[in-house]
Structure 1
Amino acid sequence: MTSPQFFDCIVIGAGAAGLMCAATAGQRGRRVLVLDHANKVGKKILMSGGGRCNFTNLYMEPDNYLSANPHFCKSALSRYTQYDFLELVSRYQLAYHDKGAGELFCDDKARDILNILLAECETGGVTIQTDTAITAISKQDNEQFVIDTPRGEYQCHSLVIATGGLSIPKMGATGFGYKIARQFGLKVKETEPALVPFTLSDAWLTVAQELAGVSIDISVTCRQQTFNEALLFTHRGLSGPAILQISNYWYSSDEITIDFLPTQSVAELIEQWKTAGEKATLKTLLGHYLPKRFVLTWLGLIAADLGDKLVKQLSNQEIEKLSQFFHHWTIKPSGTEGYRTAEVTRGGVDTDGISSKTFEAKTTENLYFIGEVLDVTGWLGGFNFQWAWSSGWCAGQYV
């Protein structure tokens, strides 16, 4: 039997946080090994942002994150900021652009970000090993961690869990990190899919299917949180950036309220049209502000002949219904599309058991948890990648 290989630090998980931590520790002179059960590294990086990776956001605030402890993320985000990551990618002359709202994307492809991380790991002398399933982790009396795999035994002084959440299982996501946390006495907050489309049922599903492919800039509200972005009707229900954002705040049985004309008032528009003596039908006039397919369907849900009416024919009761339907459509989603399409996982390792400075577990010396495996969930728009960079870099200073 071959003798175990020893490293100063072993990082489990070759995603954004794991590679960032490994590169940082390696460049501090630590001997680092990264282990991953997948056949290649950085799979989630490569598929993110439509293949262009929304790698950070210029307007980064702790309020862009959800956690049972909302203060936990503040330390890391302030010590390794979006500008620190921009300085890194600029050294590699990465071409990028702001897609709006501070969302930074690669001009070319997501692989450019992965290549930068791999180059940083190479600079730090990091060893990366894929196709390595982990069968057991233990801690010996001499304080060394022992990692058992079919490819042999590895030992280390510091162990970092960067295994991510449950999102997108086809990319290899598992609950392994939560299992290790519990093994070493840490609590795990209930996990749920987040940044995920909603599903609808019954009559509203039929409506969504009729409108599949229609996109509208909306305002959506749930639990006192509001987002103003695009909604997309799908064959399963509702998607688009606005829906993904609000899904972070949604719990089963919650209702969401949607305003399809957040910058206009239907009642005021009708009053203006009446005053101007407009002769066009309601459906034609509303079609100047909203997709025609949507207008026809939505008016038909209120009354079969409503769209063909002239604005001067509208009653106060009809105007009130129009306002309610266009500005305050309230619906209870039947669920979400689940981890299969969720971009992130809400919940995770309870941050009360983790140091916000070092990311070391309070129950076990030299055991660290970083990235999405923790109970820290960012908004859509580069916030989750920044959490990976910040938490990975901070832990990399101590492992």
Structure 2
Amino acid sequence: MLLVFINLAFLANPRPWEARKSTSNRSVDSNSEPVCGSTGLATQRKASKTTADASVQTEQSADEQIIVELRDNLAKATEALSLNQQELSTARVEATAKDLHIASLTEARREFQTLCSAMQEKGAKDEATVVELTGRLANLEAEGASKDARIASLMKKNEEWRTDTTSMQNMIAFQEAVLLQLGDILKTQNKHNDTLSETVKSQKKLLAENDTIVTSLNTKLTEQSSENDSMRHRISSFSEECEKLNNLCKRSTEVAFRDEETIVQLKLKLVETTAEAGDWKDLYIQSLSQPHQPRMRTDVSLSALSIQGIMEEKDRRIAELNDKLSECYGQLVASQTDTLVGRFPLPPTVFVSGSSGGYAENNGADLSRSKTFSGLGSEYGHRSWPMFSSVPTS
């Protein structure tokens, strides 16, 4: 600001020393006019003129010094002004750059606000979409849960059907094996009866031989008195053996009669079991050939078509047959004596294989089963049956 005021003062009065010089000249002229009128004042005028010149020179030197100082100040002010102009231009450039930066920031802020608005709108739309998808997901989860429950129930029913089918197949195979085993047992009983008849014949022959021996011994008693005691002992032993054999023959005859009655009963049971097995097999094939129909009907009692009832009835029948076979086995064991040796061989291993015709026709596949039964299985302990393999001789 000081430099600005100096510049304004210099422009208003560029040569202040000239103004002072003209003022001093005017004062000298005004003073010299009255001097000219008088001669006595000439010296005074010269002195005053000299004084005025000295003062003028002093003033000129002072003015020149002031001019020099002013020039120096002007140079300094000019230099400071140029520096200020440079700083001003730099500030203007910086201000322009800042304006541009502010404009770019303003534009970026506007774009950011626009983008924020778009993002908010998109977020609102996304939230609405999320809400809608959440509702759909809940519905789908509910549908999935219901479908899972239905699938689980269907799988459970399928497993029950498979279990029932497997149990029925096993029961049918077991019944067929039991039928074959009963046939083998009947054959064994027939062989046993034949063996008993042969044993009776041999015992009769043995009795005849013993009678002959007794006769010969009686003859020898008269001839050999020394051997009387021993021969009597042998006769008594032979008599006891004959009595035992007679008792054995009677018991064998009774056992044979009981065995015949048991065989007749077993044949009747076998016929009934075969008929029941055929009915069950037909019912099983019918249930397999008509999977779309319900297994239980309203016009038939539940116990008639219930698989559990059928299985219980079959188990009861099998238990009765097992009891009968155990009774027969006990009777056969009771008929065995110490004098009769040998045993029936263990019934051969039976391989049962077959296919159900009705099931193959309805389902287009052959059902083959292979079961192995030794005797009658674990229910009879794999027992061996007694058999008369030889006839004792005296």
| TM bin (shorter chain) | under 0.3
Structure showing the higher strand proportion among its residues:
1
Under a length normalisation based on structure 2, what TM-score does the superposition of the two structures give?
0.22
Larger Rg: 2
Task: Compare relative contact order (CA 8 Å, sep 6+) and give the higher one, 1 or 2.
Answer: 1
